[in-house]
């Protein structure tokens, strides 16, 4: 059986000026991509993603989460610029990083739209799960991560992209 779950690229943020992290030229040789993020934001923000530089209204998502006292759900359609990897587990200026694992399913498929499953945990603020739909049949070759209003990622934030290849 073929070993898989291969690291493709990793980034560690330094300084106070990194507002985006981009994985580009992603090879189409895998079946799924898994993005593991452990990051913080200079100002409270969700973690957003833009695919293939597409800033059209191709993004929509459905979210479920809890802030420790109540459970919530939310839904957003035809969103421009980006999808979202967390909803209720906001990042913040405190020292509690947000840990997120996102699955870009069948990302290189050129027949179907793309579904992205995401789970986030923030020890201070809550936990959530989001299903994103990216309405494009193009293979995903670039993932750009960004925060709201050009806030910057805190120094030490890490992002690692893995590839999984099905037999």
Residues found near other proteins in the complex (CB under 8 A): 1-5, 31-32, 60-64, 71-75, 77-78, 103, 105-106, 109, 111-113, 115-117, 119, 129-133, 135, 137, 164-167
Q: Looking at residue 107, what DSSP letter applies?
A: T
Hey, which residues does 158 pair with through a beta bridge?
A: 12, 38
Measured CA to CA, the distance from residue 135 to residue 121 in angstroms comes to: 26
Q: Looking at residue 41, what DSSP letter applies?
A: B
In this structure, are residues 154 and 26 in contact, taking their beta carbons and an 8 Å threshold?
no
Nearer to other proteins, 44 or 101 (CB): 101
In this structure, are residues 11 and 145 in contact, taking their beta carbons and an 8 Å threshold?
no
Nearer to other proteins, 95 or 111 (CB): 111
Nearer to other proteins, 18 or 82 (CB): 82
Nearest approach, Cβ of residue 76 and other proteins (Å): 8
Nearest approach, Cβ of residue 109 and other proteins (Å): 8
In this structure, are residues 8 and 163 in contact, taking their beta carbons and an 8 Å threshold?
yes
Nearer to other proteins, 16 or 73 (CB): 73
Nearest approach, Cβ of residue 131 and other proteins (Å): 4
Sheet holding 126-134, edge to edge: 6-12, 158-164, 32-39, 98-104, 114-122, 126-134, 59-66, 71-79
Nearest approach, Cβ of residue 128 and other proteins (Å): 8
Nearest approach, Cβ of residue 26 and other proteins (Å): 18
Nearer to other proteins, 143 or 154 (CB): 143
Measured CA to CA, the distance from residue 154 to residue 86 in angstroms comes to: 17
């Amino acid at each position: 059986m073929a070993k898989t779950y291969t690291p493709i690229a990793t980034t560690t943020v330094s300084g106070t000026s990194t507002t985006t992290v981009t994985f580009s030229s992603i090879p189409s040789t895998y079946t799924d991509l898994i993005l593991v993020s452990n990051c913080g934001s200079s100002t409270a923000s969700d973690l957003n993603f833009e695919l293939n530089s597409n800033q059209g209204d191709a993004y929509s998502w459905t979210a479920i989460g809890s802030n420790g006292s109540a459970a919530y759900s939310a839904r957003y359609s035809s969103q421009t610029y980006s999808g979202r990897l967390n909803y209720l587990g906001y990042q913040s200026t405190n020292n509690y990083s947000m840990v997120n694992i996102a699955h870009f399913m069948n990302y290189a498929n050129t027949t179907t739209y793309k579904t992205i499953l995401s789970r986030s945990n923030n020890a201070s603020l809550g936990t959530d799960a989001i299903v994103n739909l990216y309405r494009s049949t193009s293979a995903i070759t670039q993932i750009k991560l960004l925060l709201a209003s050009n806030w910057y990622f805190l120094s030490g934030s890490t992002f690692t992209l893995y590839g999984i290849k099905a037999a």
